[in-house]
Chain A
């Protein structure tokens, strides 16, 4: 064998090895993304199922009827309690001389947009006075807009479409594609507020730009433009943190502004741009007509108008319970959409396209449906449309085309789950249907890290949140494992372990491939199922002197439901004081306990209430309390888990 042949063989070996390695990296990246996505959707489903609890609560929490009619009004979306007229309210808020942030001038002009963008770069916070003015003004203008904005492209005017617009990508997009203006039209396809830390700043830039160029900037409502979603996903917290005095007011007005956001945009009478998707029953004519502002929140399904509400209790697309008729609300029934109208809007905001033909309930999110290519064709043809552009789902490349080119997903938040998890993209469109896709990935580093490092980052982040999921269901998991482990060996074959994991956690994940990260295996390939729980535990609140054993179930329950509890408490706490009374807590917890079938004794609840009243004054600061429950990963250097989905 000559020298050349050796070289050839050597090169082949290296190339072969590298390709295998690279493929495994890419697969790991994909697995991590799948984990993030599954957990996100499971959370959304948990969110939607909260509505069951609210109905249940109302049926049983009789004190509310009498003592707190406001709470009812809040929950059932009747007109907000009177807030003072804008002149009154805003004019009472002074902007002190010491304020060095941006000062907007009404009527707004493009200089105000520049001012805000500059301020945003300098990390300045816009004064509440201006925030409120902008919100009032935005609501006023939005009210005049129809449910669907009809837009025409022209050869000279390009249109840019973004979906899930978050702060870091925002900087990049505005820098490379320019700010919105008369000659630079934008459509923002929902979800402007979400897990970023600068949602209010982005929102202000968008609203101010909208007020300056109302015909060239189009905002479509997304499923996160919903005050209930904001409670869970942190936007509420962001506002209350940045605006300590006027935050509550801002939140109130914002709730209202959301409901006035248009449902969608139609470009050149050919392209439908909406946030989620469609269903087989999507009726665009109906959607053009409804009073969209009556759609308060996805969690508040309408009270039935008719006599036999029993019919409505049949399985509908989403797991929401219809509130019994006996409940009186402040608002009249005409304050709501009909059930049919409400479902139509949910479909638009929550549905996802899939390859399978037909229309099915969207079981991973719990709302809207999965729609197939046949549904797309049918609905598009019915209204003489050629394409659907939507957002709502994170895609590794920032965009995806499916259903034979008829459905396009555009997702602008790069690194959505974690640094390196996905690219972002936006679409540019001009006359005719030439769509151009622009992809990017925002990174903290000045140059891109090697692939294996990026994959390691997202993989460990994903595994981390998955393990936190596991520990929050520890009792149920162990129970399921032990049921199958008759000989009490502490081991299970892979297939049985995977089955239990999927069943208990309700996550459709490739458990076999993930198992090396989650458990240890013995020489015969059997899983040591308890090994998952060895390096991780839930930290008990330090102050309260919790003992081990009996309290561990309670702690696990509190950890598992902490997001739900936070939302429920926030709802009860209608004046956003952060405090609820012991009485309210006890009553609410008892209901929660029985509705979610948690086995916690009465005396434990009382004990819990005592512990939560940290300064013994009869009131509970629930945010503080819930913050104290977090997961400790023993092998970490850092104590607190700062995973983004926690």
Chain B
């Protein structure tokens, strides 16, 4: 997005961010009452192009939630927090080359692939572990059915094109 230096320019930028955030929020706001389920808020934040870790997400949600958590997030609370995140360009997405290098770290013998068992092990035991659903979902697209392994270079290339 264009960096505007004058204050009116910033106003425009902010106004556009507001609309963008509102659009993303509304699509998940089933009852059209300006609240969404807290479980959907993670999807919404990520769909706006941000890539917070689970830990960072947890902190954000604490900021957005009510004093007494209701399981719902109100738009009025979400908007200012999210606008700041976008303005400050926090939680930028990971560049493709870093992603590739990470896979390579998991494949020290440089075979060019990971076995299904290896990927499952790393994703469900290290870092911020995947749930079973997340693991299955990732496998369904990542696995090359002929070799039953994950050819990570091809996988990344495919995902990046698709992600737009």
B4 to nearest A CB, angstroms?
11
User: Which A residue sits closest to B57, measured CB to CB?
Assistant: A19
Beta-carbon contact of A451 and B140 below 8 Å: yes
B6 to nearest A CB, angstroms?
16
Is A331 located at the chain interface by the 8 A CB criterion? no
Is B19 located at the chain interface by the 8 A CB criterion? yes
Is A452 located at the chain interface by the 8 A CB criterion? yes
Known contacts A7-B126, A22-B137, A448-B140; is-contact A16 B27 (Cβ 8 Å): no
Q: Which of B35, B47, B52, B134 has the largest number of chain A CB atoms within 10 A?
A: B47
CA distance A23 to B127 in the complex (A): 19
User: Which A residue sits closest to B156, measured CB to CB?
Assistant: A17
Beta-carbon contact of B163 and A15 below 8 Å: no
Known contacts A19-B134, A23-B42, A525-B1; is-contact A10 B141 (Cβ 8 Å): no
Beta-carbon contact of B126 and A402 below 8 Å: no
User: Which A residue sits closest to B50, measured CB to CB?
Assistant: A20
CA distance A512 to B101 in the complex (A): 33
Beta-carbon contact of A27 and B33 below 8 Å: no
Chain B residues positioned under 8 Å from A23 (CB to CB): 42-47
Sample of 26 A–B contacts (CB below 8 Å): A7-B106, A7-B126, A9-B102, A11-B122, A11-B127, A12-B127, A14-B99, A16-B128, A18-B130, A20-B50, A23-B44, A24-B163, A26-B47, A27-B27, A27-B46, A354-B31, A355-B32, A355-B33, A448-B140, A450-B140, A451-B137, A452-B162, A510-B23, A510-B24, A512-B20, A512-B23
User: Which A residue sits closest to B19, measured CB to CB?
Assistant: A512
Chain B residues positioned under 8 Å from A13 (CB to CB): 94, 98-99, 102
CA distance A18 to B123 in the complex (A): 10
Is A494 located at the chain interface by the 8 A CB criterion? yes
Binding site for B on A (CB under 8 A): 6-24, 26-27, 30-31, 34, 353-356, 400, 402, 448-453, 456, 494-495, 498, 510-513, 516, 524-525
B105-124 residues at the A interface, CB under 8 angstroms:
105-106, 122-123
Chain B residues positioned under 8 Å from A356 (CB to CB): 31-33
Beta-carbon contact of B141 and A513 below 8 Å: no
Beta-carbon contact of B159 and A7 below 8 Å: no
Beta-carbon contact of A18 and B31 below 8 Å: no
Beta-carbon contact of B105 and A6 below 8 Å: yes
Contact digits for B131-164, partner A, Cβ 8 Å, 1 yes 0 no? 0001001101100000000000000000100111
B164 to nearest A CB, angstroms?
7
Q: Which of B12, B23, B53, B129 has the largest number of chain A CB atoms within 10 A?
A: B23
Beta-carbon contact of B102 and A10 below 8 Å: yes
CA distance A407 to B33 in the complex (A): 16
Residue A22 contacts which of B16, B33, B134 (CB distance < 8 angstroms)?
Answer: B134
Beta-carbon contact of A354 and B47 below 8 Å: no
Is B2 located at the chain interface by the 8 A CB criterion? yes
User: Which A residue sits closest to B52, measured CB to CB?
Assistant: A16
B interface: dominant SS = helix
A333 to nearest B CB, angstroms?
39
A10 to nearest B CB, angstroms?
4
Is B71 located at the chain interface by the 8 A CB criterion? no
Chain A residues positioned under 8 Å from B15 (CB to CB): 495
Beta-carbon contact of B105 and A10 below 8 Å: yes
Known contacts A355-B33, A451-B140; is-contact A17 B106 (Cβ 8 Å): no
CA distance A498 to B43 in the complex (A): 24
Chain B residues positioned under 8 Å from A16 (CB to CB): 51-53, 94, 128
B97 to nearest A CB, angstroms?
11
Residue A8 contacts which of B2, B19, B47, B127 (CB distance < 8 angstroms)?
Answer: B127
Chain A residues positioned under 8 Å from B93 (CB to CB): 17, 20
Chain A residues positioned under 8 Å from B126 (CB to CB): 7-8, 11-12
CA distance A264 to B57 in the complex (A): 46
Chain A residues positioned under 8 Å from B43 (CB to CB): 23, 26-27
Beta-carbon contact of A17 and B51 below 8 Å: yes
Interface size band for B: 35 or more
Known contacts A9-B102, A402-B30, A516-B164; is-contact A452 B141 (Cβ 8 Å): yes
Q: Which of A24, A450, A456 has the largest number of chain B CB atoms within 10 A?
A: A24
Chain A residues positioned under 8 Å from B99 (CB to CB): 13-14, 17
Residue B2 contacts which of A15, A18, A449, A525 (CB distance < 8 angstroms)?
Answer: A525
User: Which B residue sits closest to A396, measured CB to CB?
Assistant: B30
Chain B residues positioned under 8 Å from A452 (CB to CB): 141, 159, 162
B1-26 residues at the A interface, CB under 8 angstroms:
1-2, 12, 15-16, 19-20, 23-24, 26
Known contacts A18-B134, A354-B33, A450-B140; is-contact A513 B105 (Cβ 8 Å): no
User: Which A residue sits closest to B53, measured CB to CB?
Assistant: A16
User: How many interface contacts (CB-CB < 8 Å) are there between A and B?
Assistant: 141
CA distance A511 to B94 in the complex (A): 26
Q: Which of A353, A355, A495 has the largest number of chain B CB atoms within 10 A?
A: A355
A33 to nearest B CB, angstroms?
8
Chain A residues positioned under 8 Å from B164 (CB to CB): 516
CA distance A354 to B32 in the complex (A): 6
Residue B141 contacts which of A451, A511, A516 (CB distance < 8 angstroms)?
Answer: A451
CA distance A21 to B54 in the complex (A): 14
CA distance A513 to B47 in the complex (A): 10
Residue B46 contacts which of A24, A354, A512 (CB distance < 8 angstroms)?
Answer: A24
Beta-carbon contact of A20 and B51 below 8 Å: yes
B42 to nearest A CB, angstroms?
7
Chain A residues positioned under 8 Å from B140 (CB to CB): 448-451
CA distance A599 to B2 in the complex (A): 42
Chain B residues positioned under 8 Å from A495 (CB to CB): 12, 15-16, 19
Known contacts A10-B106, A22-B134; is-contact A510 B1 (Cβ 8 Å): no
Beta-carbon contact of A15 and B31 below 8 Å: no
CA distance A536 to B55 in the complex (A): 46
Chain A residues positioned under 8 Å from B159 (CB to CB): 21, 452
Beta-carbon contact of B162 and A19 below 8 Å: no
CA distance A450 to B150 in the complex (A): 14
CA distance A278 to B128 in the complex (A): 46
User: Which B residue sits closest to A353, measured CB to CB?
Assistant: B31
Beta-carbon contact of B47 and A7 below 8 Å: no
Chain A residues positioned under 8 Å from B53 (CB to CB): 12, 16
B120 to nearest A CB, angstroms?
12
CA distance A70 to B31 in the complex (A): 45
User: Which A residue sits closest to B160, measured CB to CB?
Assistant: A21
Beta-carbon contact of B2 and A524 below 8 Å: yes
Chain B residues positioned under 8 Å from A524 (CB to CB): 2
Q: Which of B24, B45, B101, B129 has the largest number of chain A CB atoms within 10 A?
A: B24
Q: Which of B1, B126, B137 has the largest number of chain A CB atoms within 10 A?
A: B126
User: Which A residue sits closest to B46, measured CB to CB?
Assistant: A23
Chain B residues positioned under 8 Å from A451 (CB to CB): 137, 140-141
Chain A residues positioned under 8 Å from B128 (CB to CB): 12, 15-16
A139 to nearest B CB, angstroms?
39
Chain B residues positioned under 8 Å from A512 (CB to CB): 16, 19-20, 23
Q: Which of B44, B46, B123, B128 has the largest number of chain A CB atoms within 10 A?
A: B46
In the complex, besides A7-B126, A16-B51, A16-B128, 11 extra interface pairs with C-beta distance below 8 angstroms are A11-B102, A12-B126, A19-B51, A20-B93, A22-B134, A27-B46, A30-B28, A356-B32, A450-B137, A516-B164, A524-B2
B58-89 residues at the A interface, CB under 8 angstroms:
none
